[in-house]
Structure 1
Amino acid sequence: MVNIKFLVRDVDAETEQTIYVTARFGRNDKLMYATPLKVEPLFWDGNKQRVKNSKYCVNKDEINGALTSIESKVNLFIAEAATKGEPVTKNALRNLLDTHYGKKIAASCDFHSFFEEFIRLCDTRVSPRRGGQTIDYKTKREYARTYYYIQEYEKNRGIRLEFRNITQSFFNDFVAFLQGLGLSTNTIWHKTVSLKAVMKAANEQELTDNTKFQLFKNVSEESQAIALSEAELDLLAGFDFSTSPRLERTRDLFLVGCWTGLRFSDFTRIREENIKDGMLTIQQQKTNDFVTIPLHSVFIHIWEKYAGKLPANISNQKFNDNLKDMCKEAGINERVMKSITKGGKKQTTIYEKWELVSSHTARRSFATNLYKSGFPSISIMSITGHKTEGSFLKYIKVSKEEHAKMLMTHWQKNGGLLKVM
């Protein structure tokens, strides 16, 4: 009888360790299978073979759920083999685990069946970057949209694609097709990135030896998203929304994001246990990294206003809709020019600022305002998670005029500006 166990090899390590699935097939034959799941040994219970129920391990439920899922699948596999009188071999168990974790896709040998199965398995395929969590719904949705456009392309061209057809000439024609539909450069970029991910997976599973996709050039353009200044944030903080509880709650939650720099998925789940000694510590959902941020006076005011329970029971879409209503009512109406490439042609449109506000504006405003205040970029990046200063400088929204004023202020402080003409 084959039984599986979960273990962490180095229980004394201070960094995250891989969780292994192990099983014995006789005295000298053992499977040691590395899952994509990782945990700090401090939180691992070797006896229970699960992550401890600690409030400091934010993703414990996701990891334990993933372990229970694979345990159930393996036990079912073993039971079905027993009813058939078939032995469970090490290779059979490894293949099952490979399929479960998305390393191998069963019964898929052509481009279309592989693409469809690749999308379906997003619900169980684990992302190493997300600390044992499955692929998020936005990524799965992007794969599905890409496959939709692949099928539309085939209808338009009167063809059916196979792995061997994914060449540079196809890629160029596919991009031209998407441009003809009026899609923006960045939307097309998402589709080409998704296609390359599918082809990479097919190569890893040896379903095709076509590697021409590796030469495809994904083209994107810099985001022209906005940030709100500290003056605009002060305007929002002081605006009377008492006649609209919906907008008041949205305003307060938005300001929490603006003064913590957290993503919507993080600032909407701040709890009392995240607050200690004037600091906010939370494990970011997207990157799985911990971040510590000092509490701003605006945050403290809002925290006390709601007695430590922020108004977070709202979807991202609804929050974005409310934000636009909120900023419009408060008079955040500076005219902003935004250019975007659609259908291969640059289009410029003038908006009022409230039309462009979204939940991510909070995080971008946090980084931009800190940078403008002279706070070191490297320290801001430790909170926002940007890996290079180049990517960080593209992220913040500081105009050429604002850069010039920052330089002027620097010279004035250091005696380098003797006279203003």
Structure 2
Amino acid sequence: MFVKNKFTCRLAIQIYKMATVNFRLRSSANKNVSIYLYLSLGRGQMYQSKTGFSIHPKDWSIKTKKPKQNSAENKKVFSNLNKLEVYIYDQVNVSLANGEIIDKLWLDAKINDCFSRVKKTDRSVVANHVQYIIDNANTRKIKGSNKIGLSNKRIAGYKTFKTIIQDYQTTIKSQIHFMDINKVFVEGFTNWLINDRKYSINHAGKQIDNLKTVCRDAESMDIKTHSYSGRIESFRERNEDRHIITLSFQEIKQIKDAEIKSEALKNVRKWLVVGCAIGQRASDLLRLTEEDVRFEKGNYYIDIIQQKTKRFVTIGVLDPDVIDIIEAGNFPYPISLQKLNKYLKKLCAEAKIDEVVQGKKMDKKTMRKKLDFYPKNELISSHSFRRSFATNYYKKIPTPILINITGHSKESMFLEYINRKEDKDENANLFMKFYQDLNKEKDSELRVIRSSSSA
């Protein structure tokens, strides 16, 4: 065992002396029965697990708490129990010195480790069930559809959630079981996410959503869960606290007209021009090639199957700059999302997109996003493309058409996305405008017909 200093060494020795390992039988039946290992760590911490060995009670020594050595088979069991005893003492020493959690699951695992046995997973533990979901991701049914297979992004989300749960287990020094998920637990977990880990409200809320989802999944597989798990409440940042960074039509034109020398930045500018014109997620945008563009009946169309929603979307292209890119055979070349975001900030800086606005930016010291005032070019990201499209065309194009392009399932989600409240007066004004335009067309048709009749 490795110790870092004299204090750790003394602590390890104290822990070693505090732990007690014993073996017992829990039955006196006239047949072979299981041998149990009892581990006591003091302060009421006692755990027991089957060793995987059995013996007839008549061959068990109450005095030594081990098999009598009256046969070759019993001698072998005796030797294995001695080996296990030494191993458990050593592992207790190491685990407690490292601040690891010791409970029945730990004991089960260490017994299996000692004899290189295949481990059995206790699915009542939240982290274990999350791993089960990850391991079976390709056959998981997608909610609300007849398709199977979780997306790579969703799998990554589950992996992050599992790590967070394991970190919280280390903090509270206890394995988290589904029966532990009561109101007190959820409130404590939420407090830890926001105040200790310094996660944003939205990121913390996402982890609570994940917790609720995993609990529901476990319940659907007949794993016992606490009754409160079905009443876990989601939360997210208040609209007034959200800071959405977009580019106006004027700022997009400013970027288009800027003198840029770097070929890499020119390529990013093309992605920006296309992205702000078609309103797609960066994951879908960066997969586009010239083959996704078709020309039909005098118009250009871009066909996309959105990765997140699996919806097939067709966007009509009218932006003259996008048309120029297409007709010149000058479509932007592929780039990673990470590089796109890096170069995008440089591009906007060179284009003088430097209005000071409030937003959140990663603080290198805390590695958390910090709310402050920054030049807009420091806050721009690829996500600004889709939000700029939605914001710029809102109320200029009917919302149902916009949400069909962006992929939002409801108008309420779309409005939340651009941080707008439903304006009923504006909706009424828009209806009247379309009504007047429609009637102007009808009046024009009637005048043509009357003129033709009088002739």
TM-score with structure 1 setting the length: 0.63
Give the equivalent residue in structure 1 for 2:222: 206
Distance 1:388 1:285 in 2: 18
Aligned match for 1:149, one of 164, 171, 176: 164
CA contact (8 A) 1:167 1:213 kept: yes
Structure 2, unaligned stretches of length 5 or more?
A: 1-119, 437-455
Which residue of the partner structure matches residue 331 of structure 1? 352
Match of 2:184 in 1: 169
Alpha-carbon spacing, 1:273–1:251, altered in 2? closer, same or farther (3 Å)? closer
In 2 relative to 1, CA 327–399 (structure 1 residues): closer, same or farther, beyond 3 Å?
A: farther
Equivalent positions of 1:1-400 (< 5 A) are: 108-111=122-125, 112-122=127-137, 125=140, 127=142, 132=147, 134-181=149-196, 182-221=198-237, 222=239, 223-241=242-260, 243-270=261-288, 271-277=290-296, 278=299, 279-296=301-318, 297-307=320-330, 310-338=331-359, 348-371=371-394, 374-396=396-418
Deviation at 1:399, TM superposition (A): 11
More RCO (CA 8 Å, sep 6+): 1
1:78 alignment partner in structure 2: none
Return the letter of the residue paired with 1:237. K
SS of residue matched to 1:134: coil
Distance 1:133 1:329 in 2: 45
Distance 1:350 1:128 in 2: 40
Contact 1:269 1:312 in 2 (8 A): no
Per-residue deviation, 1:141: 2.2
Q: Tell me, yes or no, if the aligned pair for 1:332 and 1:353 is still in contact at 8 Å.
A: yes
Unpaired segments ≥5 residues, structure 1? 1-105, 415-421
Counting matched residue pairs gives 296
When residues 273 and 321 of structure 1 are mapped into structure 2, their CA distance, relative to the original with a 3 A threshold, is closer
**How far 1:249 sits from its partner (Å)?**
0.2
Instruction: Measure, in 2, the Cα distance between the counterparts of 1:354 and 1:129.
Output: 39
How far apart are residue 321 of structure 1 and its match?
A: 0.9
CA contact (8 A) 1:338 1:351 kept: yes
Shift of 1:348: 4.2
Deviations along 1:208-242, one digit per CA (max 9) or x if unpaired, are 2434212111110144221100001111111122x
TM normalised by structure 2 equals: 0.59
**8 Å Cα contact 1:227/1:397 also seen in 2:** no
When residues 337 and 176 of structure 1 are mapped into structure 2, their CA distance, relative to the original with a 3 A threshold, is same
Query: How large is the Cα RMSD of the aligned pairs?
Result: 3.3
Residue 27 of structure 1 is matched in structure 2 by: none
Q: 1:303 to 1:206 in 2, by over 3 A?
A: same
- The percentage of counterpart residues that share the same residue type is 30
Q: Compared with structure 1, are the counterparts of its residues 399 and 203 closer, same or farther at alpha carbon in structure 2 (3 Å cutoff)?
A: closer
Larger Rg over CA atoms: 2
